[in-house]
Structure 1
């Protein structure tokens, strides 16, 4: 029989989906002499952390929050030489939370590598287990979402995605009472498809309109259709169901991650901007009919090009058209101010900065619409 311990990946795959934190904690105590282990998950807005092994109270420790923001491990040594480590829990660019481990002393290089492996294995397992148990979603929610919000969050692809070519992030607000705004994405080789959608109406009805459009676009995309066919199938599905009484304003993008070319179908109100060096400009596209307005609507592709290092930002009308109290719309100047404040931030932080600027713009007033911000950094 081998003397080598069973790998943490093997243990996680054999565990019940709701027991992953306990499996990791037991493994680290047995094989790395950990005194204490905590698994911290982000809330829906990736602003705070909630422990899964301790009392379910928001964790505000600066080291954990720094690790979440920087996506880099951090180590703190106390006066007695004991070590507290924070390691990011991330999976394909999706920031899930932080693994905290307390050890009797600073770990050596081999131990540090083992800890990084444990964090990586746990992140993948948590992502896979999310559909099998409510434990992790419950920890992410600060309050009970509306039925519309529940439907929208289950429909989202995640909150970020990335590799060495790009980093993509999206944010949807208000988190617990959204209406019809939505974003979607899918990666296939060197092609990245991104859509931002604003379904008409309020509450659950708006969410159902969005769900119909999004699933129609996914159905077409998964059968190899381009963004024109995706838009046309979704438009026909909505028109067949609602007879033109409702529609979904949508921007569909397909990005070539090698050459930087972007194919676009502008079917409504979402706006597209590009940040290049210190300049921010709107991509001027010919606005075509929103999805579902008329039967058998046909769409056309427009094309523009990104340069290495460019930032592509897409915002729904809940962002660019927000005008609380009759003020000038957020998109006229305040959005550009918020975007300039993101210059040194990764896309995963930039979406939060834009949304924070939008909340401050409302000055405590209740937003009249939900809002989506999607940010892509093309690294090439």
Structure 2
């Protein structure tokens, strides 16, 4: 088993980045005796999965296959489909550190034993890691993911995102950005370092490319401070000064910066005219009240104060941008007044990766399925408590 996995890993490492899927196919056929494989990647909205080898023709995957692929992707569990002539198709999630990339399908000549399924799952993990690494070196997998052309603003925003989800012994985190192909200034970022999770959500000022450029400067200023060892206050102040001296107060960015102590559930926060924080505890949704300070870049040498609050094990924290909270497509009450809390309560049994999609789908329904008028970001954080931390 170890030798076989090592052989697959070596084949993937030695393959050119744009040929990882073909290398995986050859290695899996050799190691598992498979008669065929296929790799499906999730699109930007994560509401469809598309074959890499034939991404220009999504009809190549039948409706029945798409249903099985989607079930595997949503549940993050292997799915078996026994077909004619005793053949079995095994669908396996492709995930890295909690980020869902897609699904690997392996066609086997007979019903696989549990040992074979376990080996296939380990191989799927190797394939996922290779795809994630290769994604920075080739456009092939990004082309497979996009179902229409991205605007220039959206291209910048997607390049800037850290990922769409991440897991840890103490937490599970996911984010979603809409409208996926035309976003402007709203954004989210995160980093996990030494049992601390830093999360930022931004409401960028303006629309289109100008808003995306403003967000890019802001995010990279905060990253620069964070990677130099600066805390939340230093991150906010460096970003604020950078934006101010670029735009002299004519442009600004409303931001919330959060730092979770993964061992205790204590959250430090800087609220710079921020997006909105909602806590789901049990079946009750309440707003986390923070004192709003000035948005980043409004004035020179603005200084910021830390605030703190606690999460209990099992708490779910949502962070939403104004495009979610303040949506009022028909002049009636905003989405944040009542409908948003209902959608958040409906996610109680879903993981964060599904919960962000539920809130976004309800937002689309609130708009009567017309295009969103503003960028929208939803970030969902579950804190499990330090007892679930797996060291080693």
TM-score by length of 2: 0.94
Match status 1:155 vs 2:160: yes
1:29-178 correspondence to structure 2 within 5 Å? 29-54=29-54, 56-58=56-58, 59=61, 60=63, 61-178=66-183
RMSD: 1.3
Structure 2 Cα separation of the partners of residues 304 and 15 of structure 1? 48
Aligned mates of 1:302, 1:321 — CA distance in 2: 24
Cα distance, 1:126–1:55 mapped onto 2, change above 3 Å: closer
How far has the Cα of 1:6 moved from its partner? 5.5
Residue 328 of structure 1 aligns with which residue? 333
Q: Deviations over 1:292-347 (max 9, x none)?
A: 00000000010000000110100000000011121111000010111111111000
For structure 2, the 5+ residue unaligned runs are 386-392
Contact residue 274 and residue 312 of structure 1 kept, 8 A: yes
User: Hey, what does 2:389 align to over in structure 1?
Assistant: none
1:337 corresponds to 2:338: no
Q: How far apart, CA to CA, are the structure 2 residues paired with 1:272 and 1:379?
A: 18
User: What does 1:293-332 correspond to in 2, within 5 Å?
Assistant: 293-332=298-337
Determine if contact 1:84/1:103 at 8 Å carries over to the other structure.
yes
- Give the whole-Å Cα distance in 2 for the aligned partners of 1:162 and 1:364: 31
The alpha-carbon distance between structure 1 residues 212 and 150, as it changes in their structure 2 partners (threshold 3 A), is same
After superposing on structure 2, the runs of 4+ consecutive aligned residues of structure 1 that deviate more than 3 Å are 3-6, 54-60
Q: Which runs of 5+ in 1 are unaligned?
A: none
8 A Cα contact 1:94 1:160, kept in partner: yes
3-state DSSP of counterpart to 2:379: strand
Q: Kindly state the Cα deviation for residue 127 of structure 1 after the two structures are TM-superposed.
A: 0.7
For 1:8, the equivalent position in structure 2 comes to 8
Structure 1 pair 12–271 and aligned structure 2 pair: CA distance change class (3 A)? same
Deviations 1:258-284 (A, max 9, x none): 100000111013000111111110000
2:261 corresponds to 1:263: no
Q: Is the 8 A contact 2:5 2:123 kept in 1?
A: no
- Deviation for aligned residue 1:32: 1.5
Q: How does 1:235-274 map to 2 (within 5 A)?
A: 235-274=240-279
* TM-score, normalisation: structure 1: 0.97
CA distance in 2, matches of 1:57, 1:164: 39
